[in-house]
Amino acid sequence: MTAVRQVCVAFAVAAAWCATARATDLLPDMIVDSARLNDFVFTKNIIPGRVHIRFSNGTANVGLGPLFVYPGTATATTQPVFQRIFLSQGGFRNRSAGIFVFHPTHNHFHFGGWAQYSIRAVLPSDGIGPVLREGSKTSFCLLDSTHYTGPGQVPWATQQFTGCGNTAQGVSVGWEDLYSRTLPDQWIDITGLAPGEYWLESVVDPLNRIEERNENNNVGRIKLNITPGLLPVPDEIPAGRGFPLLLTAMLLLAGAGTLALRARAWGISKP
């Protein structure tokens, strides 16, 4: 018997108050679908003179309630974002989930720092070693891409989040949000990484902005076995042309990012 229940029984507290007090949070529980990380390729076509690994990623909700986030009033560049947590007896409570970037061109917000990607060393007995390479924290809208069917699968709720809206975003229970390896920032620079065995790691909500049922299951990993000659050899950059080429690459990436974000908003950028 819970402490609240004991108080209600012992002191005959008002039934309405007891019912409200016994209501529990239907919290989401976000995990990484590690199987999606196996969709990877090595490429030398992102930045001149560099080698990257591109990979897909999936973040699934195996909790008791939806991940539901909605924006506050936007400024020119940022806007507050709030998480709505539904209660078992009905109703909900809201909490601040930080400040995120607002994209006026797309007229919706993107959840900043939703995933962090790393290459780690493999220690004896499959231990987790230090970070050797790290990608940028990705920022995307959140939506129900497909049913989650991996370990810890839960019954599928009705699909609720179908696009990158400017009123609410999220991931329903039993669904996952997919990020194709073709999207910007789905990569890590691995230039100069020696042949060997490594961990490819993804962490969902690395800054703990979202309140979850379990805060200790946000990491997914797979092993990478890089054999000699497996990685492409980066193109040499002619002397004196490094900066112009790098600047061109950055501008192209910025343009690709805009197109990909728009495609995702239109629902046509699926893995």
User: Is 170 within a domain?
Assistant: yes
pLDDT tens, N- to C-terminus, the chain (271 residues): 334 444 454 545 555 545 555 679 999 999 999 999 999 999 999 999 999 999 999 999 999 999 999 988 877 777 888 999 999 999 999 999 977 776 555 566 778 889 999 999 999 999 999 999 999 777 778 999 999 999 999 999 999 999 886 788 999 999 999 999 998 889 999 999 999 999 999 999 999 999 999 999 999 999 999 999 899 988 877 665 555 555 555 554 544 444 344 334 333 333 3
How high is the pLDDT of residue 2? Answer: 39
**Dist. CA 269–CA 271, nearest whole Å:** 7
186's tokens: 């789905």
Identity of the residue numbered 245: L
Task: Please check whether residue 259 lies inside any domain of the structure.
Answer: yes
Return the structure tokens found at 262: 């728009």
Whether 196 maps to a domain, the answer reads yes
HSE (side-chain half, CA atoms, 13 Å) at 136: 7
User: 78-87 and 67-71: which strand pairing?
Assistant: antiparallel
* Assessment of whether the complete model's pTM goes beyond 0.85: no
CATH code where residue 140 lies: 2.60.40.10
Q: Is residue 153 part of a domain?
A: yes
- Total structural domains within the chain: 1
Flag whether 12 is in a domain. no
Cα(25)–Cα(30) distance, integer angstroms:
15
Q: Is the dihedral angle over the CA atoms 30, 179, 58, 87 positive or is it negative?
A: positive
Does 17 fall in a domain? no
Structural domain of residue 96, as residue ranges?
25-266
- 4 within some domain: no
Longest dimension (CA), the chain: 83
| pLDDT given for residue 137 in this prediction | 78
Among 268, 88, 242, residue whose Cα is nearest residue 182: 268
